[in-house]
Structure 1
Amino acid sequence: MTNNRKPTSTSKGAPLKAAAIHEAAVQLREQGINSTYDLLNAAPSKIEEAKKAWISVPGQRSGITWNYFLMLAGIGGVKADRMVIRFVADAIGSAPENVSPTDAATLVKAVAEKSGRNVTHLDHAIWRFESGRPVNQQH
């Protein structure tokens, strides 16, 4: 475990992030996924089962950390957290509370596809822009 003492949410009794990720790793191991190689070479049905196990962990229901996990493993995607949602909401002239994570991810994926950009790189650039960090234009 890490020394991260932050909970997964502001809900009373929410598990710590480190405990949730430890439990998610246990769930992956029970699904036979012990490495990035196992994940990248798993059948789609096995990946779906792994996702179900991951999001069954308290504090992981939204699937945001699952999507980020896939991205870190090299599977393109969007981690539609509050930063990405805020960016998409602003881009379409809406309030963030009116943009679901699924809709935000779908729109970012569509823009990446239409513009010929790597979807993970676009997600990262959006996140950096929204966080006030420099955006690398190399991707």
Structure 2
Amino acid sequence: MEISGILKPEAVKVVASASSKKRLLHDLGDLAATAYGVNPAAAVEALLERETLGPTGVGHGVALPHARLNDLDRVVGAFILMEKPIDFEAVDRQPVDIVFALFAPEEAGVEHLKALALVSRTLRENALRTKLRANNDPSTLYTLLTAAQGAQAA
């Protein structure tokens, strides 16, 4: 599994700011709807429901919200870089500015977990997070995200 297999270039966006975590999740739902044709309301509802189980802010300014949707046939992702970080109730209590959401089919078992592990591993790299934060062009961000994994595999 590769990031380029779950993330389309058109599912990468830079957002100046979001007024709240809920607003950011709405932005992710809209982005997934545009890129993959999912129902935006269902995507937002599923993300909000997942957040009630525990925040998906994993630390170092990174959040990995994820949800299962019944109108998907594979795992897909949406990436937002925020120019102004927001509180995401992250484990390290740091505000979040890098958000990679995953949407999986209802019945996706291990594929969903593999995608989550892949994205988590990729964004754990401090050098990559620094490069992402230094760029505000979606196509550059996509290239950095997809090239980072190739560099790790080598």
TM-score by length of 1: 0.31
- The structure where strand makes up a greater share of residues is 2
Higher relative contact order (CA 8 A, sep 6+): 2
Max radius of gyration: which structure?
Answer: 1
Return the structure number with greater helix share.
1
Instruction: Tell me the TM-score normalised to structure 2 length.
Output: 0.29
